[in-house]
Amino acid sequence: MEITVDQMYNIENKGHDMGFLKKFMMENAGAAAVKRLLEKIGDVKSKNILIFVGLGNNGGDGLVMARHLTGYGAKVTVMLLGNSNKIKTEESNWNWSLLQKMPSVKLLSGNSLKFDFKPDIIIDAILGTGISGEIREPYASAINYINETDCYKFAVDVPSGLDPQTGETANIFTKCDMTVTFHKMKQGIPKRKDLTGELFVEKIGIPPEAEEGIL
């Protein structure tokens, strides 16, 4: 069953109000995404993984992935697209502060998109269900960088720039090899398999009761 983006937000909020906090949803989302990626790639030990992270909760999922992938021995670089004091949510901030206690993860922020390594895998955790309008900087340059770089590309929830409700694209959007979306499929995503690549839905622990009155 496919759902709307509004229904997803309502289910998320209801689950949170029931006590299944958004930070747990985020943890499960990031962990499930990593499992799918590992199933595809196999061993990530010593692989260079570059994670582009936006300031919303799509970025937060990427931060969770950074921690898990480091645990699997990958060399992880996180590129935060903006200033860390502009991270929007409590759960995303919580994950950022955890990474700050992990010297094994390289944390970058700012406007430079020059890296001293070639990524084996790029993770697109820039924009998810919160997208609106044309893509603004610095997200636009990051999306261009991703499209210009030759490596395996993984989208968190939805390729950035694709509207998961309508299936329409903004002025710029990523083209990925795999997309893992969460809880239930959003209506617009499967319309653009050319951008999502292999497409999966993963449960993230939201109680089915959180759907009551919404679906």
d(CA 91, CA 3): 24
Instruction: Please tell me whether 214 is known to bind a ligand.
Output: no
| Shortest reach from residue 133's CB to ligand NAX, in Å | 5
Among 135, 162, 178, 199, interactor with ligand NAX by CB under 6 A: 135
Residue closer to ligand NAX, measured from CB, 54 or 119? 54
- Residue that the structure tokens 């998961």 belong to: 164
CA 106 → CA 120, 122, 169, 192, distances in Å?
15, 14, 31, 33
d(CA 172, CA 43): 32
Residue 168 CB-half CA count within 13 A? 8
Residue closer to ligand NAX, measured from CB, 89 or 149? 89
| Shortest reach from residue 32's CB to ligand NAX, in Å | 10
Stretch that binds K ion, among 103-111, 121-129, 135-143, 183-191 (CB under 5 A): 121-129
Q: Decide: is 128 part of the binding site for ligand NAX (CB under 6 A).
A: yes
Q: Decide: is 25 part of the binding site for ligand NAX (CB under 6 A).
A: yes
Q: Decide: is 33 part of the binding site for ligand NAX (CB under 6 A).
A: no
Stretch that binds ligand NAX, among 36-44, 54-62, 109-117, 143-151 (CB under 6 A): 54-62
Residue 204, contacted partner among K ion, ligand NAX, none, CB below 5-8 A by kind: ligand NAX
Residue 188, contacted partner among ligand NAX, K ion, none, CB below 5-8 A by kind: none
Instruction: Please tell me whether 145 is known to bind a ligand.
Output: no
Q: First CA to last CA across the chain, in angstroms?
A: 10
Residue among 58, 48, 14, 52 nearest 157 (CA): 58
Diameter over CA atoms, the chain: 51
Residues that bind ligand NAX (CB under 6 A): 8-9, 12, 25-26, 29, 54-61, 88, 127-136, 139, 156-157, 170, 182-183, 204
Residues that bind K ion (CB under 5 A): 124, 155-156, 160
